[in-house]
């Protein structure tokens, strides 16, 4: 049997506002001006109707909790979790997550520093708020493709079916617009059995087409009461407004987000699924660039990788490969001409080695593109800025420079594997990660939590309120040790001038008041790396 509420919690004297009390019971102070606890509004861009649920405790402890159905539908009956009779779980010593369990966002702490933000630990609860027969779940995938989408779909369907006896699961065809414009697809363990071996999403995806009213009408009309939404930053913002509308209408519908982005740019979570697979696949392109450039005099192999605003794929692919001489990402400005510039470095490298490999993220150097190219201001259907092809531009610029200069004839081969790195099935470690994400989402929805995104924080899966996921973007921090590791591995110039350093140190004296992402706050990249290593070793637990 699972554990009961643990009264010997390591978190003493908690103060609550809203939602559940420390034993997982509804707290009557929801929405009231309870004196029971201080409320500290989080940083970021929360703009929903519902109030953030902030619980404070001693030593600067803060729990940023997720909403629960009972917050706006009091007196919902509970049922024992059917998992307690599931043979697969009967051997597990403690298969229910202790209701007190939270996960610290900050694991590197200094003597006397506040304990900081925590999130509710994901996993099965002793009580559920849905009967198996009552559940009518749906799954939707939105935004760009990513390895592992099908695995998440499969594991939601199988998790609901095998763990909770849920038989009715619908797939929404073609992203958000599919709620009101397309037919649904019936999903059963049988129909999804093999899909994790395929790239893409069997449900289809789209950008744009988010009409909150129509989507919630469709949810209501179809009698759907659990909505699983898989997608990136835009999708999670869409999920947040769907949740708010559902809450406004007082519907017993749990909304769970599963973060997806090949760019790894979603904040708070350790990393996004499919990222490792994409980095692995990028190795093939980098290897080809290396072979090509190494086989010809003054060969330059240039590889363009995805990464609209975040250079994680380029950075990790470079670090993994060791064949790369220069990695260019959106977060690290660079320049072409003059001392310390890219052309000077290329010349030096070719003289030393006879060949070189350059990796460039699609969002790098956009500010260098000519005004004509930049001024097109094109957007995709979701309003994302469409970038100019920096790979073609930089290839041409390098060729022009060396032909103008006439000192050195170069041979440049441009490889653009953009879609090849994301249109593939997920690798083994991403498959395990996707399974944990899907099962955590299912456990959360069955337990009545809603308005949350699931994801690992320091290796432990958590329920994270939408506003935290939607507050910013995860970017490579070029003053962190990880970028320094890359610079020392490639030996490329940092493209930072003495003037930049002086200006930067002035800024450091007055640190920004709101750190943009977890990667740029107190948790160093070193710790993230350790966690990621654990994840690859399948040591992530729910």
Ligand X SMILES: Nc1ncnc2c1ncn2[C@@H]1O[C@H](COP(=O)(O)OP(=O)(O)OP(=O)(O)O)[C@@H](O)[C@H]1O
- Which residues are catalytic, by number? 263
Q: List CB contacts of 292: < 8 A, sequence separation 6 or more.
A: 299, 301, 413, 415
Residue of 307, 425, 448, 455 that binds ligand F6P (CB under 6 A):
307
| Residue 123 interface partner, choices ligand F6P, Mg ion, ligand X, none, CB cut-off 5-8 Å depending on type | none
215 labelled ligand-binding = no
Q: List CB contacts of 162: < 8 A, sequence separation 6 or more.
A: 86, 88, 189
Residues 144-163 touching ligand X, rule: CB under 6 A, are 144
The answer to whether the Cα torsion of 276, 280, 283, 284 is positive or negative is negative
Examine residue 358 and tell whether it contacts ligand F6P (CB under 6 A): no
Backbone angles phi, psi at 263, to 5 degrees: -80, -10
248 labelled ligand-binding = no
Examine residue 231 and tell whether it contacts ligand X (CB under 6 A): yes
Radius of gyration of the chain from Cα atoms?
25
Residue of 171, 232, 363, 459 that binds ligand X (CB under 6 A):
232
| Residue 208 interface partner, choices Mg ion, ligand F6P, ligand X, none, CB cut-off 5-8 Å depending on type | ligand X
| Residue 176 interface partner, choices ligand X, ligand F6P, Mg ion, none, CB cut-off 5-8 Å depending on type | ligand X
Quick one: which of 440, 471, 420, 90 has its CA closest to 284? Answer: 420
- Asked if 523 and 108 touch (Cβ cutoff 8 Å), the reply is yes
Exposure of 443 in the CB half-sphere (CA atoms within 13 A): 24
Residue of 2, 24, 123, 144 that binds ligand F6P (CB under 6 A):
144
Encoded tokens for 372: 């004509």
Residues 382-411 touching ligand X, rule: CB under 6 A, are 382, 384
Backbone angles phi, psi at 414, to 5 degrees: -100, 125
Exposure of 311 in the CB half-sphere (CA atoms within 13 A): 26
Distance CA 244, CA 254 (A): 11
Quick one: which of 162, 34, 4 has its CA closest to 96? Answer: 4
Q: In angstroms, what is the minimal distance from the CB of 261 to ligand X?
A: 4
422 labelled ligand-binding = yes
Encoded tokens for 354: 């006879």
Beta-sheet pairing, 136-141 with 79-80:
unpaired
Distance CA 14, CA 20 (A): 12
Q: In angstroms, what is the minimal distance from the CB of 527 to ligand F6P?
A: 26
Q: Give the nearer residue to ligand X in terms of CB position, either 382 or 492.
A: 382
Beta-sheet pairing, 61-65 with 79-80:
unpaired
208 labelled ligand-binding = yes
Site size with ligand F6P, rule: CB under 6 A = 10
| Residue 306 interface partner, choices Mg ion, ligand F6P, ligand X, none, CB cut-off 5-8 Å depending on type | ligand F6P
Residues 166-195 touching ligand X, rule: CB under 6 A, are 175-176
Q: List CB contacts of 36: < 8 A, sequence separation 6 or more.
A: 15, 16, 17, 29
Residue of 69, 142, 258, 317 that binds ligand X (CB under 6 A):
142
Q: Give the nearer residue to ligand X in terms of CB position, either 206 or 439.
A: 206
Q: In angstroms, what is the minimal distance from the CB of 383 to ligand X?
A: 7
Q: Could you tell me how far CA 327 lies from the centroid of its own chain? A: 22
Q: List the x/- string, 364-383, binding to ligand X by CB under 6 A.
A: ------------------x-
Examine residue 238 and tell whether it contacts ligand X (CB under 6 A): yes
232 labelled ligand-binding = yes
Exposure of 277 in the CB half-sphere (CA atoms within 13 A): 29
Residue of 136, 210, 247, 349 that binds ligand X (CB under 6 A):
210
- Asked if 53 and 64 touch (Cβ cutoff 8 Å), the reply is yes
| Residue 58 interface partner, choices ligand F6P, ligand X, Mg ion, none, CB cut-off 5-8 Å depending on type | none
Strands (E), 322-470: 326-328, 355-361, 411-415, 452-457, 460-465
Examine residue 143 and tell whether it contacts ligand X (CB under 6 A): yes
Examine residue 422 and tell whether it contacts ligand X (CB under 6 A): no
- Asked if 17 and 39 touch (Cβ cutoff 8 Å), the reply is yes
Residue of 380, 400, 503, 504 that binds ligand F6P (CB under 6 A):
380
Residues that bind Mg ion (CB under 5 A): 232-234
Per-residue DSSP letter, 164: H
Residues 234-293 touching ligand F6P, rule: CB under 6 A, are 261-263
The answer to whether the Cα torsion of 125, 128, 129, 130 is positive or negative is positive
Annotated binding site for substrate: 261-263, 306-308, 362, 419-422
Query: Which residues are documented as binding site for Mg(2+)?
Result: 233
Would you list which residues are annotated within the binding site?
Answer: 144, 207-208, 232-235, 261-263, 306-308, 362, 419-422
Binding site membership for ATP: which residues?
Answer: 144, 207-208, 232-235
Which residue ranges make up the site for ligand F6P (CB under 6 A)?
A: 144, 232, 261-263, 306-308, 362, 380
User: Which residues would be at the binding site for ligand X (CB under 6 A)?
Assistant: 142-144, 175-176, 206-210, 231-235, 237-238, 241, 261, 382, 384
């Amino acid at each position: 049997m699972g554990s009961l509420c643990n009264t010997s919690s390591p978190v003493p004297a908690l103060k609550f506002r809203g939602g559940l009390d420390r034993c997982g019971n509804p707290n009557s102070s929801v929405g009231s001006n309870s004196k029971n606890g201080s409320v500290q509004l989080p940083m970021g861009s929360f703009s929903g109707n519902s109030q953030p649920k902030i619980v404070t405790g001693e030593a600067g402890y803060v729990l940023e909790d997720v909403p629960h159905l009972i917050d706006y539908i009091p007196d919902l009956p509970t049922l024992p979790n059917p998992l307690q009779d599931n043979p697969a779980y009967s051997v597990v010593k403690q298969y229910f997550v202790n209701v007190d369990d939270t996960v610290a966002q900050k694991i590197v702490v200094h003597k006397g520093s506040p304990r900081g933000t925590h999130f509710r630990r994901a996993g099965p609860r002793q009580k559920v708020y849905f009967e198996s027969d009552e559940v009518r779940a749906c799954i939707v995938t939105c935004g760009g493709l990513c390895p592992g989408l099908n695995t998440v779909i499969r594991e939601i369907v199988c998790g609901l079916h095998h763990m909770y006896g849920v038989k009715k699961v619908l797939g929404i065809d073609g992203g958000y617009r599919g709620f009101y414009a397309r037919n649904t697809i019936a999903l059963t363990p049988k129909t999804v059995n093999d899909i994790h071996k395929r790239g893409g999403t069997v449900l289809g995806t789209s950008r744009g087409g988010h009409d909150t009213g129509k989507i919630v009408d469709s949810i209501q009309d179809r009698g759907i009461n659990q909505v699983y939404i898989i997608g990136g930053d835009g999708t999670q913002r869409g999920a947040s407004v769907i949740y708010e509308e559902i809450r406004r209408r007082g519907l017993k519908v749990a909304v769970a987000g599963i973060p997806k982005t090949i760019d790894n740019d979603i904040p708070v979570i350790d990393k996004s699924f499919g990222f490792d697979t994409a980095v692995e696949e990028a190795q093939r392109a980098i290897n080809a660039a290396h072979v090509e450039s190494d086989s010809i005099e003054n060969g330059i192999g240039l590889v363009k990788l995805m990464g609209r605003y975040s250079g994680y794929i380029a950075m990790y692919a470079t670090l993994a490969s060791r064949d790369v001489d220069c990695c260019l990402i959106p977060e690290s400005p660079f320049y072409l001409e003059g001392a310390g510039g890219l052309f000077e470095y290329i010349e030096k490298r070719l003289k030393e080695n006879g060949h070189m490999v350059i990796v460039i993220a699609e969002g790098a150097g956009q500010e260098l593109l000519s005004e004509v190219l930049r001024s097109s201001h094109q957007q995709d259907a979701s309003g994302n800025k469409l970038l100019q092809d920096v790979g073609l531009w930089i290839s041409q610029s390098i060729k022009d420079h060396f032909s103008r200069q006439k000192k050195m004839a170069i041979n440049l081969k441009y490889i653009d594997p953009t879609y090849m790195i994301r249109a593939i099935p997920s690798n083994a470690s991403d498959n395990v990660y996707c399974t944990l994400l899907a099962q955590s989402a299912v456990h959360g929805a069955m337990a009545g939590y809603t308005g949350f995104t699931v994801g690992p924080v320091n290796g432990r899966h958590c329920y994270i309120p939408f506003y935290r996921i939607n507050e910013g973007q995860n970017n490579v921090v070029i003053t962190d040790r990880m970028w320094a590791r890359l610079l020392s591995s490639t030996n490329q110039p940092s493209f930072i001038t003495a003037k930049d350093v002086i200006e930067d140190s002035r800024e450091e004296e007055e640190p920004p008041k709101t750190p943009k992402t977890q990667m740029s706050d107190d948790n160093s990249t070193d710790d993230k790396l350790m966690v990621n290593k654990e994840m690859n070793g399948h040591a992530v637990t729910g």
